[in-house]
Structure 1
């Protein structure tokens, strides 16, 4: 766990995610800010069952001033847990490089997703393969500063 604004945060149990999240946070957003060349952010979100805060590292794109994240889960059949939690608790805290701020999550409509998807695949090519691996619709989430 780590502390931010007197809030306990549990970092992802996945080792590489936890290490990158620690590096990103401890460096004040100057290290650990990309995955395979794609920019990434830290997202703190509230667990729908536990009621505790969790932190993960996610690749992001941008749409104007908003940030876009992809609930790909590597093309798995199930949505990532962070996405399920956002359905119940859309208010999150982000670290994008050196800046920390509150944001609200919203899943894009089919039309909005179709508009931004090509840019997200340009940003991180494996998204195209992930989409082919699963029958589920991979959600794209807009994170808007509040």
Structure 2
């Protein structure tokens, strides 16, 4: 059974290189990744205490950023998610706009609504959920500075 449509992803921007070019260009390079908007999320390492930057696909819910802790449907949560659970104070960059936010995991009806919002942005999220027994977290990033 084929779970995921075959997509040719452009991985020329990935990980640290994605972050570097996004930061250097104020998002002119890297904001759109494979046709979808991305942000840079900075969490604090729960063991190291150091800042950890992660490029993530995101959606907007009336001014609140939304990201999905999918890790491609892996059986464990991504490190960035574990970091923000330990310390929900995060920094966000969307294009050239940098701000602080409080991260929280959406629950119940809000989670379902935000999941649908994000699956419309990146339909593979539904496939990722089928790959794992864990409930993939949906994270709201509530802006605290302008």
- TM-score category (smaller protein): 0.7 to 0.9
Q: Could you report, residue by residue, the CA deviation over 1:27-76 in whole angstroms, capped at 9, with x for unpaired residues?
A: 02211112221100001110111111110100001111100000001000
Number of residues of Structure 1 aligned to a counterpart in Structure 2 = 132
Aligned residue number for residue 49 of structure 1? 47
> What CA RMSD, in Å, does the superposition of the two structures yield over aligned residues?
1.1
Higher normalized strand content (fraction of residues): 1
1:58-101: per-residue Cα shift (whole Å, max 9, x none)?
A: 00011111000000010000000000010111001111011111
Q: TM-score, normalised by structure 2?
A: 0.87
Report the 3-state secondary structure (helix = DSSP H, G, I; strand = E; otherwise coil) of the residue aligned with 1:95.
strand
Which consecutive unaligned segments of at least 5 residues does structure 2 have? 1-12
Q: Distance in 2 between matches of 1:83 and 1:139?
A: 8
Identify the residue that residue 28 of structure 2 maps to in structure 1.
30
1:94-133 matches, within 5 Å, as: 94-133=92-131
2:132 matched residue in structure 1? 134
d(CA) in 2 for partners of 1:16, 1:96:
16
Give me the TM-score of the superposition, normalised by structure 1.
0.87
